[in-house]
Amino acid sequence: MFNGFPPLFDSNSRVLILGSFPSVRSRQVDFYYGNKQNRFWRTLQSVFGGEIDTVEHKKQLCLTNGIALWDIVASCNVVGSADSNIKDVTFVDLQTVLKNTHVCKILCNGTLAYKFTRACYDGDLPVIQLPSTSPANTRFDLQVWTEALKLQ
């Protein structure tokens, strides 16, 4: 059984981005989206600017721009990094973040994150499925992410 990471947020967070569960590489570096081939950090950088060279830079990029970051799976059994290998899941308590922020929408990084979020969240915030930033996803769309990250 593997455990996920704690959420990254502060009281100024306005958008919650949920992944499914950390990849093997992310678990090795002990932070979200640790695979350098994953498009997540380059996507945020293209929208907001800023540095992404270190974990501290990545945290600052999120917090400066009102982004809260978490994975919907709190713990699971998983072999490798593929979402299809995630079994025996327990979900996080989204209220941990939502009651302490000004989050106005939830963005799900990929199909499984969206499916799991819909299974455990029945609140009023919009929940939006975005194309996965995984290097395995050939249908990634930067424009869709750019539009979704706008705080309107």
What is the C-alpha to C-alpha distance for residues 36 and 148, in angstroms, rounded to an integer?
Answer: 23
DSSP of 56-122: HHHHHHHHHTTEEEEESEEEEE-SSS-GGG-EEEEE--THHHHTTS---EEEEESHHHHHHHHHH--
Q: Are 65 and 8 in contact (CB under 8 A)?
A: no
Give dist(CA 32, CA 55) in Å, integer.
9
Catalytic residues: 38
84 CB-near residues (< 8 Å, 6+ apart):
none
Rg (CA), the chain: 14
Contact yes or no for 136/151 (Cβ under 8 A): no
